[in-house]
């Protein structure tokens, strides 16, 4: 399940991100890559634990907590502290799969990566190439979103970032351990929640909404792992 979540960051927050990134020191992105990913990864990254990383990571986490669509799609247990990367002309990230377990450099947080996320910080007209391509059973899906928009997708998906041919691509990326590890069950709950929300708008007060909501929470209660 690939879900587009618009307007996670507003223009003021995006400007704050850009200002912090301009004064930050960048390191080789392979510092956080696994053995296989290092062979195909070519980008720059903010060092974990630095002042800019902490400042921007806290901003993103607060924004995610205010997004009902993010909560519904992901059902987060733990969000890994967001990381930030930059792709310049000639850089890209070949086909790979994210590590199943991620741990912060200080060992304070360790999660199972159920969901991967990319938050776009550059507008599409600022760069050429740089599309995120995510594979699933229906083929490869290309994603290039407006600045401030987020895409989430199963972390076991093979994916890549196409080489940049012009400009610079800035983004935040992170992973989520979900309350519902099984992606099929997570997708069913997301669809059910969306149906309840739509029916609440179309036929508010309908008696069936109580039954549907009870079904949603009973499934959530049965499937949740905490």
The CATH fold assigned to 183-223 is DNA Excision Repair, Uvrb; Chain A (4.10.860)
Q: β-pairing, 159-161 with 92-96?
A: antiparallel
Burial bucket for residue 130 (CB in 10 Å: 0-12, 13-18, 19+): buried
Spatial neighbors of 84 by CB under 8 A, at least 6 apart, are 17, 21, 45, 46, 52, 53, 56, 57, 121, 170, 171, 172, 173
- Residues 175-207: tens digit of each pLDDT: 999 999 999 999 999 999 999 999 999 999 899
Where do you find CATH 4.10.860 in the chain? 183-223
Q: Where in the chain is the domain with CATH 2.60.120.620?
A: 3-178
Instruction: Note the pLDDT of residue 94.
Output: 95
pLDDT tens readout for residues 213-222: 999 999 999 9
| Architecture of the CATH domain 3-178 | Sandwich (2.60)
Give the Cβ contact number of residue 140 at 10 Å: 13
**In what helix (H) or strand (E) does residue 40 lie, and over which residues does it extend?**
none
């Amino acid at each position: 399940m690939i879900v587009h979540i618009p307007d996670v960051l507003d223009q003021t927050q995006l400007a704050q991100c850009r200002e912090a990134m301009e004064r930050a020191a960048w390191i080789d992105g392979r510092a956080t890559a696994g053995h296989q990913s290092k062979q195909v990864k070519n980008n720059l990254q903010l060092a974990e634990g630095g002042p800019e990383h902490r400042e921007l990571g806290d901003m993103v986490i607060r924004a995610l907590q205010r997004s009902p669509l993010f909560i519904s799609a992901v059902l987060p247990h733990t969000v890994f502290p967001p990381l930030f990367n930059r792709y310049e002309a000639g850089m890209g990230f070949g086909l790979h799969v994210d590590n199943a377990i991620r741990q912060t450099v200080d060992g304070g947080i360790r999660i199972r990566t159920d969901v991967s996320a990319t938050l776009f910080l550059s507008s599409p007209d600022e760069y050429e190439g740089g599309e995120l391509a995510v594979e699933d059973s229906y083929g490869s899906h290309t994603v290039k979103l407006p600045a401030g928009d987020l895409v989430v997708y199963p972390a076991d998906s093979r994916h890549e970032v196409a080489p940049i041919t012009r400009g610079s691509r800035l983004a935040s990326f992170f992973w989520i351990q979900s309350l519902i590890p099984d992606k099929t069950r997570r997708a069913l709950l997301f669809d059910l929640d969306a149906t309840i929300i739509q029916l609440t708008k179309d036929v508010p007060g309908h008696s069936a909404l109580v039954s549907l909501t009870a079904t949603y929470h009973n499934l959530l209660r049965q499937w949740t792992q905490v």
